């Protein structure tokens, strides 16, 4: 905190005692540090030198004397502070936005604000003026508290650059903004802890952005101090009021203190490379000193990431919390047989027609989950009834067909797994001494049998007509481990081969399933092809179910969690630690980071933890996060996360400067890529305009110490297990910065939207995307009894292979919420940030960005209406809308939020 100068001359005003704020309900007392101290305010806006009278007694004679006062001309500047109510306090009174019951406490305490000039005084000291805020009212329309304060600003004070805030309340308060009537605006959108929790004054800067080298001299120390406060010292357990960003490994997923079976390895380090998470500092487990203890309360996130306190009650994170802590335990209690499957397909239909009867929850969950929980006729009961996904509503049997199986690899939930076949034969890179012969069982003869009449294998390779979904090498090391887990479960390494037809659609050719050798059995593998006999046709359907389970697990663990949520957390931590709140790149990226750390903390607590939703419902089981670590180690590269680079790396595009987006697609009708490139181009053009405005010269990029420290920390700490990789981009020029920033913005917006908001549409009817396969293929070492059972009732074999009732309903409950948009979602290009609006050049560039995104809505609609685009238009097909920028609230299958907000 800035301390007042002690060597200033005193006058009568200085010597008067300070009054307590809110005396008589409207006092407006002021103090200041340095020579700009003003305690009493004259009724006019400027003050001149005056004589004042004082009394003195000498020998009983009272004489009037004149004491000249040296005062300066000042201007009264009024500040208006808006505070958003803490939602938990409002809910306690029954109405969001209502005045909390302890309103008397609000009127008895306040905030102290101290504005800071951009200029130093003649002695090289900061110029500051202090004022006390007074409570005014609650605005019911916008649901914010209003406070006001008056500053006496000397005429030579200079431009205002910062404000220091002290919160005298006993709890944290959420500052939305501080607006001065001279045009200066501080957009806060941040928590200010109570001074009793953190005595350090909170620093806010105006909406004007500065590179470090351009920072006004008087603000440099504040800029440094604010960043230092965000980094902390790496010691101690973090408290709910802390605003500290630091790194740690994923050592809090296991619960060995609860049960040794719930112990899990630490992710992050040489053995299990992984991105870093936010450090919480909780004590280590007495059972396992490498594991951090877990807590029943919500995991720590820095105070500014804890937006659930101020968002609407229907905020998606709160709803997800309700599902995880109310719906899931309720299902666990009702569906007591954890291994019980669905006896008939009509039993699956009942989930949508009748639902599951459960005891009436008494915690408001009915209001929080209107899509899932219905009030029964008997008020002592409620019903968890699922909405029919749009894909099934349009075409009940779409999940059964081969063309839809392939189409969803281009326009479904995981459109970033398919890759071009560039080499033949297909060969594993795994050790053959451990995993058996590396050559694939998919031979040239099998392929040519399936594509006869079109071309030879060599021609198909040359013309880029063969594509593959390849989970062979990633999954094979886990096959024997997974098969040893308790409960019905199985796993294979798999390869799925497809052919691009002249119509631009994909046709499946073969599925290879492999079991590696074990102590008891040799390697087993088999190739399945679309068949024209009953037995072969059912085996093909069962092979597809195995592959769909692999794709569902890969999607959730890699395409969704790893590539968006997990990889982004280090960007958020580094941005807050190294880029000042007045840095233009911090202000560009900040909208893309909102809510993510809180969602990730909730995932660590209940989704990806030992025994959590993912482990209990998806095929790797307890090995889920180890497999995720393998994918990070083997597959994740920052330079491949930009959409064009991702497409090129998978052989789905080649560079072509004459093409509209600089790349030519290998599959022309590839809805994810077609629409995604529109989003990517809009993002990159916006980033280009923004960055070139603040960095007109390359040397400004290289000399920006905050920016260089930010990129260094992302590479060497946040993603430190890959710090020595040669593919990390350099950061020397504007183009380097544009590509880095555009990649981060794309991953947090377009990529996440494409793999998240269609989850219920595609996975809400679980036979379309089973999260796990529970039984082996019928022809893998069957007994005579097992084989005859399959021959007599092949439908039963498929139902037994599907997830159990508890697994299916758990997944459906969670993805219903994950697919839902909050009422107050912030969409890409939808809202201009105040700091952007403050700069006319940036404001104009943003309007161009917004205009491009608005145009995308119509372009995507026209594509979905084009009958020649068979991967997105046709009988019974759900239009591909996942990358349409805007959406209504709820489960809509469209909308691209700025950030990973759910």
Catalytically active residues, by annotation: 560, 565, 752, 756, 902
Residue 440 CB contacts under 8 Å (≥ 6 apart), including other chains: 425, 426, 427, 428, 472, 495, 512
Cis omega before residue 341 (within 30°)?
A: no
Q: Which helix (H) or strand (E) holds 545?
A: helix 534-554
Burial (0-12, 13-18, 19+ Cβ within 10 Å), 453: exposed
Read off the tokens for 46: 């400027």
Q: Return the ∠ at Cα 165 (arms to 161 and 170), rounded to 5°.
A: 165
Dist CA 176 CA 153 (whole Å): 23
Burial (0-12, 13-18, 19+ Cβ within 10 Å), 142: exposed
Among 250, 247, 249, smallest CA distance to 238 is for 247
Q: Which long-range contacts (CB under 8 A, 24 or more apart) does 345-352 make?
A: 345/767, 345/795, 345/799, 348/765, 348/766, 348/767, 348/808, 351/385, 351/386, 351/808, 351/809, 351/812, 352/385, 352/386, 352/387, 352/388
Read off the tokens for 154: 């000397």
Burial (0-12, 13-18, 19+ Cβ within 10 Å), 89: middle
User: Helices in 37-112 by DSSP H: which ranges?
Assistant: 87-92, 103-108
Among 647, 650, 666, 665, smallest CA distance to 751 is for 647
Are 78 and 181 contacting, i.e. CB atoms less than 8 angstroms apart?
Answer: yes
Q: Return the ∠ at Cα 384 (arms to 610 and 542), rounded to 5°.
A: 65
User: Helices in 565-662 by DSSP H: which ranges?
Assistant: 567-578, 584-589, 596-606, 613-617, 624-635, 643-649
Burial 435-448 (b: 16+ CB within 10 A, else e): bbeeebbbbeebbb
Parallel, antiparallel, or unpaired for β 144-154 and 134-139? antiparallel
What is the DSSP-derived secondary structure letter of residue 634? H
Residue 211 CB contacts under 8 Å (≥ 6 apart), including other chains: 583, 584, 694, 695, 700, 704
Work out whether the CA dihedral 797, 801, 806, 811 comes out positive or negative.
negative
Q: Which helix (H) or strand (E) holds 359?
A: strand 356-359
Burial 57-78 (b: 16+ CB within 10 A, else e): eeeeeeeeeeeeeeebebebbe
CA dist list (Å): 291 to 265, 272, 404, 600, 831 = 8, 14, 44, 18, 42
Dist CA 176 CA 80 (whole Å): 11
Among 706, 742, 700, smallest CA distance to 580 is for 706
564 half-sphere exposure, CB direction, 13 A CA radius: 30
Q: In 3-state terms, what secondary structure has residue 466? A: strand
Q: In 3-state terms, what secondary structure has residue 751? A: helix
Residue 862 CB contacts under 8 Å (≥ 6 apart), including other chains: none
Among 763, 771, 85, smallest CA distance to 491 is for 771
Torsion of CA 232, 235, 238, 243, to 10 degrees: 0
Are 267 and 253 contacting, i.e. CB atoms less than 8 angstroms apart?
Answer: yes
Q: In 3-state terms, what secondary structure has residue 264? A: coil
Dist CA 128 CA 130 (whole Å): 7
């Amino acid at each position: 905190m800035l301390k007042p100068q002690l060597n200033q001359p005193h006058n009568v005003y200085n010597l008067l005692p300070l009054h307590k704020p809110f005396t008589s309900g409207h006092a407006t007392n002021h103090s200041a540090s340095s020579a700009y101290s003003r305690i009493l305010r004259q009724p006019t806006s400027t003050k001149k030198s005056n004589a004042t009278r004082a009394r003195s007694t000498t020998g009983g004679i009272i004489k009037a004397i004149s004491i000249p006062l040296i005062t300066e001309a000042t201007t009264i500047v009024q500040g208006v502070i808006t505070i958003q109510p803490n939602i938990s306090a409002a809910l306690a009174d029954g109405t969001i936005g209502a005045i909390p019951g302890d309103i008397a406490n609000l009127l008895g305490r306040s905030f102290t604000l101290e504005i800071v000039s951009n200029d130093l005084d003649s002695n090289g000291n900061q110029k500051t003026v202090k004022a006390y805020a007074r409570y005014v009212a609650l605005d019911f329309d916008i649901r914010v508290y209003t406070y006001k304060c008056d500053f006496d600003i000397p005429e030579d004070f200079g431009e205002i650059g910062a404000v220091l805030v002290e919160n005298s309340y006993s709890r944290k308060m959420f500052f939305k903004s501080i607006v001065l009537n001279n045009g200066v605006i501080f957009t806060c959108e941040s928590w200010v802890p109570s001074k009793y929790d953190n005595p350090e004054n909170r620093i806010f800067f105006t909406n004007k952005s500065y590179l470090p080298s351009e920072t006004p001299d008087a603000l440099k120390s504040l800029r440094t101090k604010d960043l230092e406060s965000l980094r902390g010292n790496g010691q101690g357990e973090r408290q709910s009021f802390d605003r500290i960003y630091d790194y740690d490994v994923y050592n809090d997923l296991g619960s060995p203190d609860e049960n040794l079976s719930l112990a899990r390895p630490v992710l992050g380090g040489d053995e299990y490379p992984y991105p870093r998470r936010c450090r919480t500092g909780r004590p280590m487990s007495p059972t396992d000193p490498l594991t951090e203890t877990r807590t029943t309360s919500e995991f720590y996130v820095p105070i500014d990431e804890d937006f659930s306190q101020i968002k609407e009650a229907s905020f998606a994170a709160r709803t997800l919390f309700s599902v995880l802590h109310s719906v899931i335990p309720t299902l666990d209690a009702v569906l007591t047989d954890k291994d019980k499957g669905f006896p008939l397909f009509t039993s699956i239909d009942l989930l949508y027609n009748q639902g599951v009867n459960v005891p009436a929850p008494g915690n408001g969950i009915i209001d929080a989950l209107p899509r899932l929980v219905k009030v029964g006729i008997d008020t002592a009961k409620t019903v968890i009834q699922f909405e029919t996904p749009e894909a099934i509503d349009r075409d009940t049997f779409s999940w059964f067909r081969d063309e839809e199986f392939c189409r969803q690899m281009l326009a479904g939930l995981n459109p970033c797994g398919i890759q071009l076949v560039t080499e033949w034969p297909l060969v594993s890179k795994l050790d053959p001494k451990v995993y058996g012969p590396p050559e694939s069982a998919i031979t040239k003869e099998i392929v040519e049998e399936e594509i006869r009449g079109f071309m030879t294998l060599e021609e198909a390779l040359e013309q880029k007509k063969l594509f593959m979904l390849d989970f062979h090498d990633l999954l094979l090391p886990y096959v024997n481990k997974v098969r040893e887990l308790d409960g019905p479960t199985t796993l294979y390494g798999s390869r799925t081969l497809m052919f691009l037809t002249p119509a631009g659609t994909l046709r499946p050719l073969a599925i290879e399933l492999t079991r590696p050798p074990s102590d008891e059995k040799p390697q087993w593998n088999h190739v399945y092809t679309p068949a024209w006999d009953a037995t072969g046709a059912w085996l093909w359907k069962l092979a597809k179910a195995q592959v769909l389970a692999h794709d569902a697990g890969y999607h959730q663990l890699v395409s969704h969690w790893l590539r968006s949520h997990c990889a982004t957390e280090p960007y958020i931590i580094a941005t807050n630690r190294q880029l000042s709140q007045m840095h233009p790149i911090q202000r560009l990226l900040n909208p893309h980071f909102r809510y993510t750390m809180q969602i990730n903390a909730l995932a660590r607590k209940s989704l990806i933890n030992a025994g959590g939703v993912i482990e209990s419902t998806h095929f790797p089981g307890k090995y889920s996060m180890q497999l995720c670590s393998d994918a990070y180690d083997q597959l994740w590269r920052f330079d491949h996360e930009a959409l064009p680079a991702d497409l090129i790396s998978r052989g789905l595009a080649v560079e072509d400067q004459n093409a509209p987006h600089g790349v030519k697609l290998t599959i022309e009708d590839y809805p994810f890529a077609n629409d995604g490139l529109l989003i990517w181009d809009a993002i990159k053009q916006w980033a280009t305009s923004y960055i070139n405005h603040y960095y007109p010269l390359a040397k400004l990029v290289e000399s920006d110490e905050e920016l260089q420290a930010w990129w260094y920390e992302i590479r060497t700490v946040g993603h430190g297990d890959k710090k020595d990789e040669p593919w990390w981009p350099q950061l020397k020029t504007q183009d380097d910065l544009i590509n880095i920033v555009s990649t981060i913005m794309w991953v947090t917006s377009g990529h996440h939207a494409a793999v998240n908001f269609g989850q219920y549409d595609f996975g809400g009817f679980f036979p379309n995307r089973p999260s796990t396969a529970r039984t082996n293929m019928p022809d893998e070492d069957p007994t005579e009894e097992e084989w005859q059972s399959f021959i007599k009732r092949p439908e039963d074999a498929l139902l037994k292979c599907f997830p159990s009732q508890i697994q299916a309903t758990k997944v459906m409950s969670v993805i219903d919420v994950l697919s839902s948009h909050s009422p107050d979602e912030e969409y890409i290009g939808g809202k201009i940030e105040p700091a952007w609006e403050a700069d006319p050049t940036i404001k104009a560039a943003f309007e161009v960005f917004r205009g491009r995104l608005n145009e995308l809505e119509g372009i995507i609609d026209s594509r979905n209406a084009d009958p020649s685009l068979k991967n997105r238009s046709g009988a019974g097909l759900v239009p591909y809308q996942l990358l349409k920028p805007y959406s209504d609230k709820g489960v809509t299958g469209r909308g691209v939020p700025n950030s990973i907000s759910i």
